[in-house]
Chains A and B, each alone.
Chain A
Amino acid sequence: MTFIHKYPKAAKVAKANFIVAFIALAIGGLFGFVQALHRTNVFRGFFNSGEYYTLLTGHGVLLALIFTTFFIAGLFVWGVTRSLDREPENLTFTWSWFWLMTIGLVMATIAILGGLVPDSSIRAAVLYTFYPPLQAHPMFYIGLALVVVGSWMAGADWFWSYRKWRAENPNERIPILAFMTLFTMLMWYVCTIGLALEVVGLLIPWSLGWVTEIEPLLPRTLFWFFGHAVVYFWLLPAYYVWYAILPKLSGGRLFSDSMTRIVFIIFLLLSTPVGYHHQYADAGISVGFKFYAMATTLLILLPSLITLFTVVASMEHGARQRGGKGYLKWIGKLPWDSPAFVGCALAGIMFAAGGFSGMINASMNINVLIHNTIWVPGHFHLTVGTAVALTFMAITYWLLPQLTGRKLKYKTLALIQPYAWFLGMTLMSNAMHRAGLAGVPRRTAEPEYSGFDFEPIFGTMTEMKWQIAIGGTILMISLILFLWVVVASWLAGEKSDKPVDDYIPEPLSGVEHTPAILDNMKLWFGLALLLVVLAYAFPLWEMVADGIFSPGALPRPS
């Protein structure tokens, strides 16, 4: 018996979400590969440099918004169903959020891909951040709004299951998988307020021509109100995997239940009031608010450091149970031949490395060195592009058998895949960071200028260019391996009653040692809202005081 046999309805929902996620991954990944070859001038024959920005938008939106959101929805359906031991409460409702999100995704994708059709009036080359005055076809904004509304309904679905479960189990603690899901969604509700205000209140009326003017700063600020928390919306499901599943894959148990809950609470509190750290170079926001955001951002390092400790301690527990000894020798006893484990572990290592460049991005003074350079994509390909994406791919090797009732095929290819991703990403991201230090801009189809040469601190530009292109190619190969293994296993894997060991053991320090206040959702949600009001109320008021759409605001704080 595995998940599909116990909860066939939930399995179907989770699978549907995964299908959409993997299609988005395939298309978005291909765009990324084309970009890597185009901007390094290794090969520019696929598309012209104008179309590059359409591909860039497609890459960002399909991977960072669509692949993640749908995968997370599938993962959470699995987790909530399993940990609360109940199928979705009302399947009509469940399928309606899935289809709403899918319709939205299709609309946004058509708007983006319209840019590749000659003479098309439908286009959305507005990049992932869609800053005005870049304008997309209204279909793009409406589609994204539908995806967000769908995700709100998905969250409501899981809270619904939780309430029903709570009514039947009034004295039980929230199971850890459900806890992580619910807190992630609480954070999602807080941060998507900004996106909803931006898209529905400003961008849709503007793109439909109902209003003709728009202030650039207000939508940017609202975007980053959402935009940093969204990275935690991607990351927390990866943490969810690292906390709940990775210890077991390592052969051990989660080190501490209460640590896990504390980490998710801190993320709920601090994820949103940090958005200004993406706007350090924006005139019009006083440096005091930027400083507040910087302090909060550096505080967010804390839960990630707690995670470093808890997750590594859980893995070490597994290694020692498998016979590991010594200070570092135990690492060799971890199951380096299991694709799911290897992917998660390598993703974790990458995330630790991403922490280094993240600290530089977060610091207001040093940020200036790398602001808007290709360093920044270098950084987030370590975090969302590996810590999140590789974790999702790896855990698919473990989840897919549970959802389909089929064993994984091509285990050797599946094993090569995470190592290849790690290698390719190191090469690509390392060169992107170094090129960024030399001043190479991000989001540029042809980063070459006449009469000007970039001066790298060391090495040569040519060497970096090839490192990016080769890294991108290895990533593409790794992605093809992943998709191949998934499709083959899904369609032709050997059917089995127990296709994978899906048991999750209890934590070493269990829920009995966890303070009850950690489960008080109203308290933490209220505090999170309070912190957001403190960070955003005054500056947003300043921006809208002269009229919501008025572009006449001074480019400085008054």
Chain B
Amino acid sequence: MSEEKSDNSTKKLVKILVIVGIGVPVLVELMTLFNLINVQIFEDEKDANSQGFDVEDVRGFGEGDTLFSDQASVVVIDELRIKVSAQEWRFALGLTSADSSSQDELEISVDSLSLQSKKMLSGDNNSWEVKQSAPAQVYGEWILPNGDIPTKLFISSDQKTGKDSTKKVSQEVPLDKVPVRYNQNQ
């Protein structure tokens, strides 16, 4: 330090160290703070709309909701959940025809399931069992890939349009959060 030259080089080193060793950290932290505030406060609404976080507006279907509400025979969801056992992860759906007088047969089929993992499930592995005749009830279960959750159902039903004529009506049913229940009996 006694020599001016080494004193100068120390000064230069300290300058570099302060710029790199303190300047970079301060910059990193300021950027973090800026980004946090920016995202949290100013991009909040945009985010909420695009990602469908707003639960009230885009609430999907759940237990107790009515399907085919604009058709002659409406159907109510009376069971909608995921049943978990040690081996399996099943989606269970039970439907009831709301209007038991005019309808003795409930013809309804689930065409496909759209899952959270963007996969589609379709085909014949869905078997309906008739639980009761009046009011008409049907119930079915589907085996899902473990951990996956259905987000949308494609469901269709034969609706009477005239005296003897029927028409197949399809509906897309976006689902609300499906409750997951551990099923000890299975």
User: Chain A: residues with CB nearer than 8 A to chain B?
Assistant: 336-337, 346, 353, 412, 415-416, 418-420, 422-423, 426-427, 430, 434, 451, 457-459
7 contacts between A and B (CB under 8 A): A337-B11, A415-B13, A419-B22, A427-B28, A457-B35, A458-B36, A459-B35
Interface SS majority for chain B: helix
The reply to whether A458 and B35 form a contact with Cβ atoms under 8 Å apart is yes
Min CB–CB distance A493 → chain B (angstroms): 17
- The complex places the Cα of A415 from the Cα of B16 at a distance, in Å, of 12
| B24 adjacent to chain A (CB < 8 Å) | yes
| B14 adjacent to chain A (CB < 8 Å) | yes
- The complex places the Cα of A418 from the Cα of B20 at a distance, in Å, of 12
| Shortest Cβ-Cβ A-B pairs, 10 listed | A419-B21, A426-B25, A419-B17, A458-B35, A337-B14, A458-B39, A423-B21, A336-B14, A422-B21, A337-B10
A451: chain B residues at CB < 8 Å are: 117, 147-148
- The complex places the Cα of A457 from the Cα of B40 at a distance, in Å, of 8
B180: chain A residues at CB < 8 Å are: none
Q: A415-B17, A451-B117, A458-B39 are in contact. Are A430 and B32 (CB under 8 A)?
A: yes
Min CB–CB distance A243 → chain B (angstroms): 23
A458: chain B residues at CB < 8 Å are: 35-36, 38-39
The reply to whether A430 and B22 form a contact with Cβ atoms under 8 Å apart is no
Question: Which of A353, A419, A457 has most B Cβ within 10 Å?
Answer: A419
| B120 adjacent to chain A (CB < 8 Å) | no
- The complex places the Cα of A412 from the Cα of B12 at a distance, in Å, of 12
| B48 adjacent to chain A (CB < 8 Å) | no
Q: A336-B18, A337-B10, A419-B21 are in contact. Are A430 and B29 (CB under 8 A)?
A: yes
Task: Using CB atoms, name the residue of chain A closest to B32.
Answer: A430
Q: What number of residue pairs across chains A and B have CB atoms under 8 A from each other? A: 53
The reply to whether A419 and B28 form a contact with Cβ atoms under 8 Å apart is no
- The complex places the Cα of A419 from the Cα of B24 at a distance, in Å, of 11
The reply to whether B24 and A423 form a contact with Cβ atoms under 8 Å apart is yes
B28: chain A residues at CB < 8 Å are: 426-427, 430
B10: chain A residues at CB < 8 Å are: 337, 412
- The complex places the Cα of A422 from the Cα of B117 at a distance, in Å, of 42
Partner of A423, one of B11, B14, B25, B32: B25
B40: chain A residues at CB < 8 Å are: 457
Number of interface residues of B (CB under 8 A): 22
B117: chain A residues at CB < 8 Å are: 451
Q: A337-B14, A419-B20 are in contact. Are A434 and B32 (CB under 8 A)?
A: yes
- The complex places the Cα of A447 from the Cα of B36 at a distance, in Å, of 23
The reply to whether A423 and B35 form a contact with Cβ atoms under 8 Å apart is no
- Chain B window 101-144, contacts with chain A (Cβ cutoff 8 Å), 1 for yes, 0 for no: 00000000000000001000000000000000000000000000
- The complex places the Cα of A479 from the Cα of B165 at a distance, in Å, of 84
Q: A415-B17, A451-B117 are in contact. Are A426 and B39 (CB under 8 A)?
A: no
B20: chain A residues at CB < 8 Å are: 419, 423
A430: chain B residues at CB < 8 Å are: 28-29, 32
B147: chain A residues at CB < 8 Å are: 451
The reply to whether A422 and B32 form a contact with Cβ atoms under 8 Å apart is no
- The complex places the Cα of A451 from the Cα of B20 at a distance, in Å, of 40
Min CB–CB distance A422 → chain B (angstroms): 5
Task: Using CB atoms, name the residue of chain A closest to B1.
Answer: A337
The reply to whether B36 and A457 form a contact with Cβ atoms under 8 Å apart is yes
Question: Which of B22, B25, B38, B117 has most A Cβ within 10 Å?
Answer: B25
- Chain B window 32-49, contacts with chain A (Cβ cutoff 8 Å), 1 for yes, 0 for no: 100110111000000000
Q: A337-B14, A346-B22, A457-B39 are in contact. List 6 more A-B contacts (CB 8 A).
A: A416-B13, A419-B17, A419-B18, A426-B24, A434-B32, A458-B39
Task: Using CB atoms, name the residue of chain B closest to A418.
Answer: B21
Partner of A422, one of B11, B22, B38: B22
A434: chain B residues at CB < 8 Å are: 32
Min CB–CB distance A160 → chain B (angstroms): 43
B14: chain A residues at CB < 8 Å are: 336-337, 415
- The complex places the Cα of A346 from the Cα of B23 at a distance, in Å, of 12
B24: chain A residues at CB < 8 Å are: 423, 426
B11: chain A residues at CB < 8 Å are: 337
- The complex places the Cα of A426 from the Cα of B24 at a distance, in Å, of 9
- The complex places the Cα of A418 from the Cα of B14 at a distance, in Å, of 12
B29: chain A residues at CB < 8 Å are: 353, 426, 430
Q: A337-B14, A415-B13, A415-B17 are in contact. Are A422 and B35 (CB under 8 A)?
A: no
Task: Using CB atoms, name the residue of chain A closest to B27.
Answer: A426
- The complex places the Cα of A416 from the Cα of B18 at a distance, in Å, of 10
Min CB–CB distance B7 → chain A (angstroms): 9
Min CB–CB distance B58 → chain A (angstroms): 19
Min CB–CB distance A477 → chain B (angstroms): 12
- The complex places the Cα of A420 from the Cα of B25 at a distance, in Å, of 11
Task: Using CB atoms, name the residue of chain B closest to A467.
Answer: B28
A418: chain B residues at CB < 8 Å are: 21
Q: A422-B22, A426-B28 are in contact. Are A416 and B17 (CB under 8 A)?
A: yes
The reply to whether B25 and A422 form a contact with Cβ atoms under 8 Å apart is yes
Min CB–CB distance A470 → chain B (angstroms): 11
Task: Using CB atoms, name the residue of chain B closest to A349.
Answer: B22
- The complex places the Cα of A434 from the Cα of B33 at a distance, in Å, of 11
Task: Using CB atoms, name the residue of chain B closest to A336.
Answer: B14
B18: chain A residues at CB < 8 Å are: 336, 419
- The complex places the Cα of A426 from the Cα of B26 at a distance, in Å, of 9
Min CB–CB distance B115 → chain A (angstroms): 11
Min CB–CB distance A272 → chain B (angstroms): 32
B36: chain A residues at CB < 8 Å are: 457-458
B35: chain A residues at CB < 8 Å are: 457-459
Task: Using CB atoms, name the residue of chain B closest to A345.
Answer: B22
Min CB–CB distance A248 → chain B (angstroms): 19
- The complex places the Cα of A422 from the Cα of B29 at a distance, in Å, of 13
Min CB–CB distance B97 → chain A (angstroms): 37
- The complex places the Cα of A340 from the Cα of B167 at a distance, in Å, of 86
- The complex places the Cα of A341 from the Cα of B13 at a distance, in Å, of 16
- The complex places the Cα of A522 from the Cα of B29 at a distance, in Å, of 45
A337: chain B residues at CB < 8 Å are: 10-11, 13-14
- The complex places the Cα of A451 from the Cα of B149 at a distance, in Å, of 12
